[in-house]
Amino acid sequence: MERQVNSMDSLKGQKAVVTGATRGIGRAVSEALLAQGVRVFGVYGGSEEAAAAFLATAGKDLTLHRLDVSDYGQVERFYQNVEHGVRQHRYPPSTAPVSDGMRPWP
């Protein structure tokens, strides 16, 4: 049986973390979520140019964070930002704020 979508299924106002957010499938997912009114915390590890280009075209609900997902400390600080809703500003890719002390995602 196919599930019916209704207003209760809206993602508007939710937060999402998208890895590989600046290119390929990750960017497509980010764009789709942004179109639904989701605040996207995008993670990327590569091209500053791709990140800057995405920021230039995205709405206010995108924040990009450059980090190495194999570095536990970086991932921990990133989730601290997400937990505390760091969203007052759109940050240039290499200057996203970080803070310490968050439990990692289970």
pLDDT tens figures, 25-52: 999 999 999 999 998 999 998 888 899 9
> pLDDT-derived band of residue 87, with 50, 70 and 90 as boundaries?
very low
pLDDT interval class at 10 (50, 70, 90): confident
Residue 59, pLDDT above cutoff 60: yes
pLDDT at 9 over 50: yes
Domains delineated in the chain? 11-95 (3.40.50.720)
Distance CA 46, CA 84 (A): 25
Residues 44 and 74 sit within 8 Å (Cβ to Cβ): no
Please state the pTM of the whole predicted model.
0.68
Residues in contact with 12: Cβ distance below 8 Å, sequence separation at least 6, in sequence order? 36, 37, 38
Task: Kindly state the DSSP code that residue 25 receives in the 8-state scheme.
Answer: H
